[in-house]
């Protein structure tokens, strides 16, 4: 009998030992797969951040380039491939089909990124006599318009020829320059001015130092010889940039490219390469980025025309660009070359004529002219002093001004839009047209736009000048005089300069407004400022002397005043900076790429399409991987379930279902049974988080207003996943807490709301961290983003480093002592519980402020907000 008892005892003990070994094996398998799950979660969060960043770029006002899109797509590719690998490690390779799905989706993205530009075949050189505006793809817009004026309107335009886009493509392709330039451009960071300057210099030097293919050089020189036979041997020429995409409405590229005057035959080829290299000046690169042009879409054509021996020259507008000359033609003129007008270096004469009857001279202002820019055959382009008897003389007769005004209206009628026209007057009195392009005319002012402000609290610093670009803006002044100043120019500052140099246009993506001592309505910087919709006040005479860097100022370009401080009344109703890039080629590339990335089609985890083959976007893939990995680790409906073996249900009064999985040392030893209480948990970080959960009872979902209810209907169509804990809502009611002695990871999913907390709190401060991630909700985008901002406000009060992208919040604290970290974990516990469903009721800033105040009041009783 004793033998039988001993046998049964040994058998029972063997069963217990085998059961324990099996349990330990399952625990080890869980730990191994959990490490893959942890990797997957980190990758998942990074992917969501990238997607949010790309969506924000599409919706925002800041420019971005193709390099931004490619870099983010590459990061997505790498991270999602690793997500699929981690999922297969968790599921024992049962989701390898996801790799083929990923390849299919990526093929669509790759096609959008590598779209081939259809290059226009044709000759390397075209005579201007054969050019019309329909040939802009071959000759660039500037020379196409000039050929149109010459050949179809019969106006006086110099002879000449165009080195075409086909020649440009041949030059870059034959010499291998294209690949090298593309490599450098793709690495550019538009916000790194030092890198931009360095890369710009490298590319320009590369182009200038590379010899032209012999056959192309011979063709250009032959065209130049033929031109001289027609206009006179020894005549100097100007080589003018004429890029494809230049001089179109809303994107003039005014002053951003390079033209060279007074070129002789021996310097023709090097000058051609310098004009081509000018495509990669810093202002030109930034202009393309801000406007959303793809570098490969803009071949640089070059026009070659004889120099006009100008006694006077300038710029005229066939309409008022917002300077207050209603229904008028505006002409600026100087002695010598018109370069002085477009660069703003010499104050020009002003002639204003009636658009309805260009014979009527409305206004004339003759300035004293000390200097002029001239061209000498041997000495090149230089500045000369104006003869004393001409310093006060008008540059044009009234009749010449009327003749120019008539030409302006003729050009506007032909091109069916207001025109920006460069002209020159030769010694015989002939008026020559050198360029015409569409003029940006701002929308007409609305009633009430002109606000008078004479507050003693905001004294005027300056009054007078020229409204070069209408509008009002505020910011700290920043004086710009050198290239070093450009590198240091801060976001949102007011650019203050002596002269409105075209190169300052590189700063307009950051500038709030422009104020300059010199300048004219018709200058290049003024034209670009109007395109960027940035207020510009020029010709103030003393701005650079009277304003200091850092001074807070309000610029009223409409009223031609600058105030000290921020004049709220004046700024009320001012239009926000609009997106320049919307609708551009780069914008459309990002839009197409995001169609393969961002939409979420897998919304029902229990639906028949929730399979690898049902994934149509990268977002679908990460949604699928996240859900399947959760099921693999935590779903107790599986035949072999980790939670059934290694997880214990936490019994508590907190209205959430909790399951705890112990990696090692996270719960007290010797614990038996399938449940535990919070007192059984030994992980200090998890206990601190729980203290935040339990500090104040959740009062239930807040009452939803009608708009909030409708937004939930629109967003979710009342999906059952919103009902937390509902029978059959996959994982909707289960929240898993994985713990060890110093580490824990919490993953919660409440309907459409996901949050994760991870922390390590040990004795070595350098290793300690707390990380929090939050995304989702049931309401519309605006309400979800309001909740994100509310969470950010609270967490920042407790010294978290917080980033938000749309409805996603990421917060982190690192390298602080354990006690400090535990206090912050209390905050997170409170925030996770008490921000549930708040997106349903946040109807505006006032409601959000009220909730912030109430939550901070409660938190102040359990957490110390100070360091």
DSSP 341-399: HHHT-SPPEEEEEESS-TT-EEEEEPPP--EEEEEETTTEEEEEEPPGGGTTS-SS-HH
Tell me the mean pLDDT in the region 765-780: 77
Q: Is the pLDDT of residue 398 over 90?
A: yes
Confidence at 424, pLDDT banded by 50, 70, 90: very high
Query: Using an 8 Å Cβ cutoff, are 419 and 436 in contact?
Result: yes
The angle subtended at Cα 176 by Cα 173 and Cα 180, nearest 5°, is: 115
pLDDT interval class at 573 (50, 70, 90): low
Residue 7 within any structural domain of the chain: no
If you average pLDDT over residues 814-838, what whole number do you get?
Answer: 87
Residues in the chain: 867
Model confidence band, residue 276 (pLDDT cutoffs 50, 70, 90): very high
Residues 488 and 588 in one domain: no
Q: Does residue 331 carry a pLDDT above 80?
A: yes
Q: Between β-strands 513-516 and 536-538, what pairing exists: parallel, antiparallel or unpaired?
A: parallel
Based on the domain organization, do 751 and 676 belong to the same domain? yes
pLDDT confidence bin for 497, thresholds 50/70/90: very high
Query: What six digits make up the tokens of 194?
Result: 């030092």
| Same domain, yes or no: 97 and 145 | no
Q: What is the mean pLDDT of residues 793-807?
A: 86
DSSP character string of 684-724? HHHHHHHHHHHSS----SPPPPHHHHHHHHHHHTT-GGGST
Q: C-alpha angle with apex 204: 198 to 209, nearest 5 degrees?
A: 125
Domain CATH for 196: 3.30.1490.20
Residue 792 forms part of a structural domain: yes
Predicted pLDDT at 377: 67
Same domain, 356 and 295: no
**pLDDT tier, 533 (very low <50, low <70, confident <90, very high otherwise):** confident
Average pLDDT estimate for 113-125: 74
Mean pLDDT of 459-478: 90
Residue 764 has pLDDT above 50, yes or no: yes
pLDDT top residue among 123 and 763: 123
352: containing domain? 312-438
Contact 286, 581 (CB under 8 A): no
Between 175 and 708, the more confident residue is 175
Q: Which of 156-170, 598-612, 637-651, 667-681 has the lowest mean pLDDT?
A: 637-651
Over residues 708-734, the mean pLDDT reads: 40
Q: Which residues is 301 bridged to in the sheet? A: 242
Number of domains in the chain: 5
Residues 129 and 107 in one domain: no
pLDDT tens digits along 181-205: 888 887 777 777 788 888 889 999 9
Kindly state whether residue 717 falls inside one of the protein's structural domains: yes
Residues 392 and 424 in one domain: yes
* CA pair distance 532, 522, nearest whole angstrom: 15
Query: Is residue 778's pLDDT more than 80?
Result: no
In this structure, are 282 and 402 located in the same domain? no
**Is 506 found in the same domain as 607?**
no
- The answer for residues whose C-beta is within 8 angstroms of residue 373's C-beta and 6 or more apart is 334, 336, 337, 339, 340, 345, 346, 381, 382, 383, 384
Evaluate whether residue 660 is within a structural domain: yes
Query: Are the C-beta atoms of residues 741 and 665 closer than 8 Å to each other?
Result: yes
* Strand, helix or coil for residue 150: helix
> Do 473 and 368 lie in a common domain?
no
Strands 300-306 and 161-163, bridge-based pairing: antiparallel
pLDDT per residue as tens digits for the range 608-647: 888 999 999 998 998 888 878 877 776 545 545 555 556 7
| pLDDT for res 33 | 76
- Residue 285 CB-half CA count within 13 A: 28
Q: What is the pLDDT of residues 229-256, one digit of tens each?
A: 998 877 889 999 998 876 555 555 665 7
* Residue 696 shares a structural domain with residue 668: yes
Q: Are residues 591 and 508 in the same domain?
A: no
Parallel, antiparallel or unpaired: strands 328-335 and 260-263: unpaired
CATH number at residue 528: 3.50.30.10
Kind of pairing between the strands at 513-516 and 647-650? unpaired
Residue 63 lies in a domain: yes
Q: Is residue 477 part of a domain?
A: yes
Query: What is the arithmetic mean of pLDDT over 391-420?
Result: 93
Angle at Cα 373 formed by Cα 369 and Cα 378, nearest 5°?
Answer: 145
Q: How far apart are CA 111 and CA 123, in angstroms?
A: 30
Same domain, residue pair 153 and 277: yes
Mean predicted confidence (pLDDT) in 457-479: 88
Tokens coding 627: 């859900």
The mean pLDDT value of the chain amounts to 81
Asked whether residue 120 is domain-assigned, the answer is no
The mean pLDDT of 836-863, rounded to a whole number, is: 79
| Residue 2 maps to a domain | no
Task: Tell me whether residue 480 is exposed, middle or buried, using C-beta atoms within 10 angstroms of its C-beta: 0 to 12, 13 to 18, 19 or more.
Answer: buried
Least confident among 360-369, 598-607, 680-689, 764-773: 598-607
Most confident range (mean pLDDT) of 317-331, 447-461, 607-621 is 607-621
Q: What is the DSSP letter of 176?
A: T
pLDDT at 222: 95
């Amino acid at each position: 009998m004793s033998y039988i008892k001993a046998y049964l005892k040994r058998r029972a003990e063997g069963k217990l030992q085998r059961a324990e070994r099996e349990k330990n094996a399952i625990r080890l398998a869980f730990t191994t797969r959990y490490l893959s799950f942890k990797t997957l979660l980190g990758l998942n969060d990074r992917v969501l951040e990238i997607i949010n960043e790309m969506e924000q770029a599409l919706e925002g006002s800041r420019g971005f380039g193709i390099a931004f899109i490619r870099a983010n797509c590459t990061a997505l590719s790498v991270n999602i491939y690793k997500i699929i690998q981690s999922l297969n490690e968790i599921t024992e390779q049962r989701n390898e089909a996801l790799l083929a799905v990923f390849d299919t989706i990526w093929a669509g993205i790759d096609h959008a990124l590598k779209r081939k530009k259809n290059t226009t075949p044709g000759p390397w050189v075209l005579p201007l006599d054969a050019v019309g505006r329909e040939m802009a793809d071959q000759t660039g817009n500037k020379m196409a318009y000039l050929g149109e004026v010459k050949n179809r309107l019969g106006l006086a335009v110099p002879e000449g020829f165009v080195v075409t886009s086909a020649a440009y493509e041949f030059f870059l392709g034959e010499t291998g320059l294209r690949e090298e330039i593309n490599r450098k451009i793709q690495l550019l960071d538009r916000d790194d001015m030092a890198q931009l300057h360095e890369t710009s210099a490298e590319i320009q030097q590369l182009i200038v130092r590379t010899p032209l293919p012999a056959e192309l050089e011979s063709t250009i020189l032959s065209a130049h010889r033929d031109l001289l036979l027609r206009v006179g041997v020894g005549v100097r020429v100007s080589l003018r940039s004429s890029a494809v995409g230049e001089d179109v409405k809303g994107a003039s590229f005014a002053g951003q490219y390079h033209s060279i005057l007074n070129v002789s035959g021996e310097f023709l080829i090097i000058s051609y390469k310098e004009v081509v290299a000018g495509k990669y000046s810093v202002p030109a690169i930034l202009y393309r980025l801000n406007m959303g042009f793809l570098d490969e879409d803009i071949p640089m054509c070059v026009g070659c025309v004889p120099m006009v021996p100008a006694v006077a020259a300038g710029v005229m507008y066939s309409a008022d660009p917002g300077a207050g000359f209603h229904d008028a033609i505006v002409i600026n003129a100087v002695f010598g070359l018109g370069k002085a007008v477009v660069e703003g270096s010499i104050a020009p004469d002003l002639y204003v004529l009636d658009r309805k009857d260009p014979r009527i001279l409305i206004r004339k202002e003759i300035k004293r002219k000390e200097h002029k820019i001239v061209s000498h055959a041997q000495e090149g382009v230089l500045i000369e002093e104006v003869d004393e008897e001409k310093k006060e003389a008008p540059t044009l007769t009234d009749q010449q001004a009327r003749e120019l005004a008539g030409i302006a209206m003729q050009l506007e009628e032909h091109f069916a839009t207001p025109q920006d026209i460069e002209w020159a007057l030769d010694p015989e009195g002939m008026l020559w047209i050198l360029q015409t392009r569409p003029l940006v005319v701002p929308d007409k002012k609305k009633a009430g736009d002109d606000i008078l402000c004479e507050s003693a609290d905001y004294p005027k610093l300056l009054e007078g000048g020229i409204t070069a670009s209408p509008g009002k803006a505020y910011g700290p002044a920043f004086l710009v005089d050198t290239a070093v100043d450009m590198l240091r120019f801060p976001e949102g500052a007011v650019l203050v300069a002596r002269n409105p140099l075209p190169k300052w246009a590189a700063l307009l993506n950051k500038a709030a407004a422009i104020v300059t001592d010199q300048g004219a309505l018709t200058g290049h910087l003024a034209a670009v400022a109007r395109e960027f919709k940035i207020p510009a006040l020029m010709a103030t005479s003393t701005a650079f002397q009277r304003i200091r860097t850092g001074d807070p100022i309000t610029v009223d370009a409409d009223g031609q005043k600058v105030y000290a401080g921020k004049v709220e009344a004046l700024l009320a109703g001012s239009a926000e900076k609009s997106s320049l890039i919307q609708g551009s080629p780069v914008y459309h590339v990002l839009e197409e790429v995001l169609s393969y990335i961002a939409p979420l089609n897998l919304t029902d985890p229990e639906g028949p399409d929730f399979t690898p083959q049902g994934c149509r976007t990268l977002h679908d893939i990460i949604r699928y991987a996240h859900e399947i990995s959760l099921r693999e680790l935590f779903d107790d409906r599986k035949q072999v379930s980790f939670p059934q073996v290694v997880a214990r249900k936490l019994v508590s009064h907190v209205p959430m279902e909790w399951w705890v999985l112990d990696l090692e040392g996270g719960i007290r030893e010797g614990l038996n049974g399938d449940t535990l209480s919070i007192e059984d948990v030994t992980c200090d970080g998890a206990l601190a988080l729980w203290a935040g959960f339990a500090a104040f009872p959740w009062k239930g979902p807040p009452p939803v207003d009608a708009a909030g209810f409708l937004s939930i209907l629109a967003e979710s169509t009342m999906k059952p996943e919103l009902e937390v804990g509902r029978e059959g809502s996959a994982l909707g009611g289960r929240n898993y807490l994985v713990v060890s002695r110093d580490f824990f990871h919490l993953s919660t999913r409440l309907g459409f709301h996901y949050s994760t907390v991870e922390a390590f709190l040990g004795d070595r401060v350098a290793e300690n961290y707390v990380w929090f991630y939050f995304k989702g909700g049931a309401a519309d985008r605006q309400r979800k983003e309001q909740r994100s901002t509310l969470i950010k406000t609270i967490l920042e009060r407790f010294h978290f480093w917080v980033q938000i992208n749309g409805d996603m919040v990421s917060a982190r604290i690192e390298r602080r002592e354990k006690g400090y970290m535990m206090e912050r974990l209390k905050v997170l516990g409170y925030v996770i519980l008490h921000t549930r469903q708040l997106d349903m009721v946040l109807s505006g800033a006032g409601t959000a402020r009220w909730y912030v105040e109430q939550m901070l009041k409660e938190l102040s009783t359990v957490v110390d907000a100070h360091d």
